[in-house]
Amino acid sequence: MTTEQDVRDVARHAKDAAADLAPLPRATKDAALHAMADALVAQTAAILTANARDLANGRDAGLSDAMLDRLALDDGRVAAMAQGLRDVASLPDPVGEVVRGYTLPNGLDVRQVRVPLGVVAIVYEARPNVTVDAAGLCLKSGNVALLRGSASAYESNTALVGVLAEAAEKAGLPAGSVQLVPGTDRESVTHLMRARGLVDVIIPRGGAGLINHVVENSIVPVIETGVGNCHVYVDADADLEMAERIALNAKTHRPSVCNAAESLLVHRAVADEFVPKVVHALRAAGVTVHGDETVLALAGGNAMDGPPVLPATDEDWAAEYLSLDIAVAVVDSLDDAAKHIRRWGTGHTEAIVSNSQPAIRRFISRLDSAAIMVNASTRFTDGGEFGFGAEIGISTQKLHARGPMGLPELTSTTYLVTGSGHIR
Amino acid sequence: MTTEQDVRDVARHAKDAAADLAPLPRATKDAALHAMADALVAQTAAILTANARDLANGRDAGLSDAMLDRLALDDGRVAAMAQGLRDVASLPDPVGEVVRGYTLPNGLDVRQVRVPLGVVAIVYEARPNVTVDAAGLCLKSGNVALLRGSASAYESNTALVGVLAEAAEKAGLPAGSVQLVPGTDRESVTHLMRARGLVDVIIPRGGAGLINHVVENSIVPVIETGVGNCHVYVDADADLEMAERIALNAKTHRPSVCNAAESLLVHRAVADEFVPKVVHALRAAGVTVHGDETVLALAGGNAMDGPPVLPATDEDWAAEYLSLDIAVAVVDSLDDAAKHIRRWGTGHTEAIVSNSQPAIRRFISRLDSAAIMVNASTRFTDGGEFGFGAEIGISTQKLHARGPMGLPELTSTTYLVTGSGHIR
């Protein structure tokens, strides 16, 4: 069992490293990222050997093929991780950016400057590429990366962090800049969540269970990420062909991710025309529709081939399916759509399809989500799509960062105030 | 005993009000703030009657004169609170500000826009003016104010919130925009801290005990404020007259506030000259010096009239005295000063007195505090001094807001993305 001392020793080492890492210039950090990328490629064989042990353990433990595929590394995937580090190296360094700066009437110069957060802990599931991505983003933004992957990827993560840490230190970063949290048991995360003062922030990346566990129990500040019950609302004034295209794309382009649509709301004024069409198109694309009574009545029964149309329950309105399922409701008004979203949504991304500017403005003003798409698919809420170059996750909380988080979201600020003997 | 249902009912009402409050334009909010100010003045008599009950209860309960003074209201203090609301009305509205905006290569327009946080809970001690200040800042930034003052000010706060809420509603703000959390018992705060999903953020304002209690127990996101063990470091290259002026001002200008200096660190190279002078000046100003061995040796004994010079213990290095006491140490180097501050400080404000630009840069790069003063008193870390016009508190955490928090720090952001049928 992992003891509190085990975790605190590592966190203390991380905290000390953070003090030395924070002031390093961009050139040093970028050189380290390139060295880490080179080392990953050079040591691919050892990484794949460790990964094979995880895969063997996973097969013994009865992991699904999908899980095993996520876990599996090969030459191409290691090369892609290395390329990811080089891409992060090419991004601007957020540290040192002057966010605000002005001179006060008394002559004091005030500058608000970006600084690293310090020690950033990432708790994540399954895929070993998160280990490399997270390490790269943390180091680029001057933060120590404290990584806690899942037990199923332990051998892979240990190998990866070993390679990264050695290369980073050789390239001039402080020892301890990239570390694994010891242990794969529940206690390992529990102690991490208690290490306030040593760990500056915990970012959980994974399913709702993991995220809620961390949010409920951590006394270290948390950035909540990525549970998405995203809605597409088709307004009375919608271009219905556009609406069908967006609904289909939002649902089917990549159903397993948090910015996929899980619910479709249709204004009653266009329901007669739109619902039969969109249900048909969804079913033709392999989607199971969970509809309210009006939708069931308009859907035309289950005569056609394809997945069934089922009656929706409250669980459907709340569901983040992450699969080829969608909940569909007819609403009496835009305000009812907003009410539905406020009640059942997770505050991730909602889309409106409408040509009415007043309707769009009202939709925006009635909602409280990280992102709102106007005549565009929910799938665009993404750091890469937004042009951030990289993403540590998508925040669904309101404090600190909301929506896709890039490098600036991994920083805090300090006020630097310069005078010439100023007193009050 | 306050039940969870009591608190959740109020928080639910607040959450509903938040949806209606968020989209209101500046003109409506400003008119409400002016109406609230007018109502406070018009109903001063009723407010003072309620306040008199608190004062009587306080006397019976044996509150100190200082506590009673903080609690006491009079015509002038009520008028000052009203003026505070008018001042907040005159500040720019942060809601709707476009923080970033650009067009992606695919033609999607991306705007990151400030939006209210939603429901902001403030948990605070003693002074009833916080009730009015906090309500004004929350409403101006489009947030519902959920206020939990101390038991000792319960009658005053109830009267004040009654006046504010009635005036706000009459002026067009949603019912429930300003509310007291029910109860003055411990359970009242406990249930508030569990109301995740209804309350968007809790800001504790008060002593370290209150703040730590909230930080340790809340599952609602917290903004930690204001415990300050602020340091003044006198460098080898300091102008010693300036250093003395700054040390004196930082310690004695207003010892009871969080940006007062609690520790003074002196580089060994100037200790022989500076320590006797500054200790003399501090004692002449009524300050008790808690010195390390070198300071005790240089201080010249306790011959002069005035407070004694006492040996410092670890408790002194860690202390937020909030009184006319200061811990003084001699350090061998700037790096040792930084190490001392990192070990014992609270990350609030540190000052360096130096004419050496390399020393100043190194000091800044070695520290991790919300504000660093260069040749200026620690007392300048203040929303008013920074030109914010108002301050909800001084954050000493790294997430979301750090340092003095004005109106923008009471907002989150939403990404508004506009396309013309964009899909991936």
pLDDT score of B285: 96
Q: How far apart are alpha carbons A141 and A157 in whole angstroms?
A: 21
Contact B414 A369 (CB under 8 A): yes
**Closest residue on chain B to A349 (Cα):** B415
Residue A399 has its nearest CB partner, among B115, B221, B402, at B221
Contacts B396 to A, Cβ<8 Å:
none
**Whole-number pLDDT of residue A302:** 63
Average pLDDT over residues A190-198: 95
Please give, rounded to a whole number of angstroms, the shortest distance from the CA of A251 to a CA of chain B.
11
Torsions phi, psi for B198 (to 5 deg) = -105, -40
Does any domain span residue A331?
yes
Same domain membership, residue A249 and residue A212: no
* 8 Å CB contact of B424 and A379: yes
Give the one of B118, B342, B374 whose C-beta lies nearest to A398's C-beta: B118
* Whether residues B216 and B145 fall in one domain: yes
Q: Do B422 and A376 touch (CB under 8 A)?
A: yes
d(CA B110, CA A14): 37
For residues B119 and B87, membership in a common domain is answered with: yes
The b/e string for B152-167 (b: 16+ C-beta within 10 A; e otherwise) is: bbbbbbbbbbbbbbbb
- Whether residue A391 lies inside any domain: the answer is no
Quick count: other Cβ atoms within 10 Å of Cβ B287? 24
Q: Cα dist. B68→B62, B73, B102 in Å?
A: 9, 10, 54
Residue numbers of A between 340 and 359 with CB closer than 8 Å to B: 342
> What would the pLDDT profile of A347-376 be if each residue is shown by its tens digit?
999 999 999 999 999 999 999 999 999 999
Average pLDDT over chain A reads 95
Residue A291 has pLDDT above 90, yes or no: yes
Q: Do B140 and B89 form a contact (C-beta atoms < 8 A)? A: yes
Query: Amino acid letter at A367?
Result: L
Chain centroid to Cα A217, Å, comes to 20
B75 to chain A nearest CA, in Å?
28
Contact between chains at B423 and A201 (C-beta distance less than 8 A): no
* Gap between the Cα atoms of A210 and A217, Å rounded: 11
On whether any CB of chain A is under 8 Å from the CB of B19, the answer is: yes
3-state secondary structure of A84: helix
ipTM: 0.94
Residue A235 φ then ψ, to 5°: -80, 165
Res A348: pLDDT: 97
Instruction: Report residue B37: phi and psi, to 5°.
Output: -60, -45
How much is the pLDDT for B314? 97
Mutation for B interface: A396, A413, A424, most B CBs within 10 A: A424
Q: A48 pLDDT exceeds 90?
A: yes
Tell me, yes or no, whether B390 lies in a domain: no
Asked whether residue B391 is domain-assigned, the answer is: no
Q: By the CB < 8 Å criterion, does B370 face chain A?
A: yes
Residue A260 inside a domain? The answer is yes
CA angle at A240 for the pair A367 and A381, rounded to the nearest 5°? 40
Residues 198-257 of B with CB under 8 A from A: 200-201, 215-216, 219, 221-223, 239, 242, 245-246, 248-250, 253
Interface of A with B in 261-290 (CB under 8 A): none
On whether the CB atoms of residues B378 and B261 are closer than 8 A, the answer is: yes
Domain range for B408 is 4-224+399-418
For testing contact with chain A, the best of B234, B414, B418 (most A CBs within 10 A): B414
Q: What is residue A391's predicted lDDT score, i.e. its pLDDT?
A: 87
Beta strands A393-395 and A403-405 are: antiparallel
Point out which residues pair with A370 in neighbouring strands. none
- Give me the residue from B377, B402, B419 closest to A413, CB to CB: B402
Tell me what the mean pLDDT of segment A238-243 comes to: 98
pLDDT in tens, chain B (424 residues): 999 999 999 999 999 999 999 999 999 999 999 999 999 999 999 999 999 999 999 999 999 998 899 899 999 999 999 999 999 999 999 999 999 999 999 999 999 999 999 999 999 986 899 999 999 999 999 999 999 999 999 999 999 999 999 999 999 999 999 999 999 999 999 999 999 999 999 999 988 888 889 988 999 999 988 789 999 999 999 999 999 999 999 999 999 889 999 999 999 999 999 999 999 999 999 999 999 999 999 987 666 778 989 999 999 999 999 999 999 999 999 999 999 999 999 999 999 999 999 999 999 999 999 999 999 999 999 999 998 987 899 999 999 999 999 999 999 999 999 999 999 9
Whether residue B219 sits in one domain with residue B164: yes
Chain A interface includes B416 (CB < 8 A): yes
Q: How far is residue B187's CA from residue B189's CA, in Å, rounded to a whole number?
A: 5
- What is the spatial distance between Cα B245 and Cα B261, in angstroms, rounded to a whole number? 13
Choose, out of A217, A241, A362, A380, the residue to mutate when testing the contact with B (most B CBs < 10 Å): A380
CA neighbor of B112 nearest in space, from B92, B96, B89, B126: B96
Is the CB of B373 inside 8 Å of chain A's CB atoms? yes
Is A390 within the bounds of a domain?
no
Q: Encoding tokens for residue A353?
A: 């399809």
Chain B residue nearest residue A400, CA to CA: B400
Q: What are residue A62's phi and psi, to 5 degrees?
A: 75, 30
User: In sequence order, which residues have a C-beta less than 8 Å from that of residue B314 and are 6 or more positions away?
Assistant: none
Which residue has tokens 């989607």?
Answer: A287
Compute the distance between CA of residue B304 and CA of residue B307 in angstroms, rounded to an integer: 9
Are A149 and A264 members of one domain?
no
**Residues A234 and A335 placed together within one structural domain of the fold:** yes
Assign residue B337 the CATH number of its domain. Answer: 3.40.309.10
Note whether A144 contacts B: Cβ–Cβ < 8 A.
Answer: no
Q: Which chain B residue lies closest to A386 (C-alpha atoms)? A: B104
| Domain co-membership, B281 together with B194 | no
Determine, for residues B373 and A110 on separate chains, whether the beta-carbon distance falls below 8 Å.
no
CB B340 within 8 A of CB B327: no
- What angle, rounded to 10 degrees, do the helices at A154-170 and A129-140 form? 30
Verify whether the Cβ–Cβ distance A22 to B368 is below 8 Å: yes
Q: Which own/partner pairs from B212-219 qualify as long-range (CB within 8 Å, at least 24 positions apart)?
A: B213/B189, B214/B123, B214/B189, B215/A196, B215/A219, B216/A219, B217/B190, B217/B193, B218/B193, B219/A215, B219/A216, B219/B193, B219/B194
For the full predicted model, state whether its pTM sits above 0.90.
Answer: yes
At A66, which CATH number? 3.40.605.10
Neighbours of B186 (CB within 10 A): 11
Q: Give DSSP secondary structure letters for A174-199.
A: PTTSEEEPS-SSHHHHHHHHH-BTTB
* DSSP H or E stretch at residue A213: helix A208-217
The verdict on A153 and A81 lying in the same domain is: yes
Residues from chain A contacting residue B417 (CB–CB below 8 Å): 371-374, 376, 380-381
Cβ–Cβ contacts within 10 Å for residue B277, how many? Answer: 14
CB contact residues (below 8 A), chain B span 38-67, against chain A: none
**The pLDDT of residue A338 is above 90:** yes
A300 and A405 inside one domain: no
Statement to judge: residues A64 and A97 lie in one domain = yes
Taking contacts as CB-CB distances below 8 angstroms, the residues of chain B near A249 are 423-424
Residues of chain A with pLDDT > 70: what percent? 99
pLDDT, tens only, A88-136: 999 999 999 999 999 999 999 999 999 999 999 999 986 899 999 999 9
Residue given tokens 């039969």 in the structure block: A276
Does the residue A355 lie in any domain? yes
Among the listed residues B142, B133, B145, the one whose alpha carbon sits nearest the alpha carbon of residue B14: B145
Could you tell me which residues are beta bridge partners of residue A411? A116
> Which residues neighbour A342 within 8 Å (Cβ) at sequence distance 6 or greater?
A366, A367, A368, B19
* Res B5: pLDDT: 95
- Per the structure, how many domains does chain A have? 2
| pLDDT of res. B415 | 98
Q: What distance in Å separates the CA atoms of residue B366 and residue A328, rounded to the nearest whole number? A: 56
Could you tell me if A12 lies within 8 Å of chain B, comparing CB atoms? Answer: no
For chain A positions 69-98, those within 8 Å of chain B (CB to CB) are none
Residues of A in contact with B370 (CB under 8 A): 414-415
Q: Are B57 and B205 in a shared domain?
A: yes
Task: Examine residue B36 and state whether it is found in any structural domain, yes or no.
Answer: yes
Q: In this structure, are residues A331 and A340 in contact, taking their beta carbons and an 8 Å threshold? A: yes
Mean pLDDT of A134-144: 97
Residue type, B35: A
Same domain, A245 and A199: no
Query: Of A316, A11, A418, A380, nearest to A191 (Cα)?
Result: A11
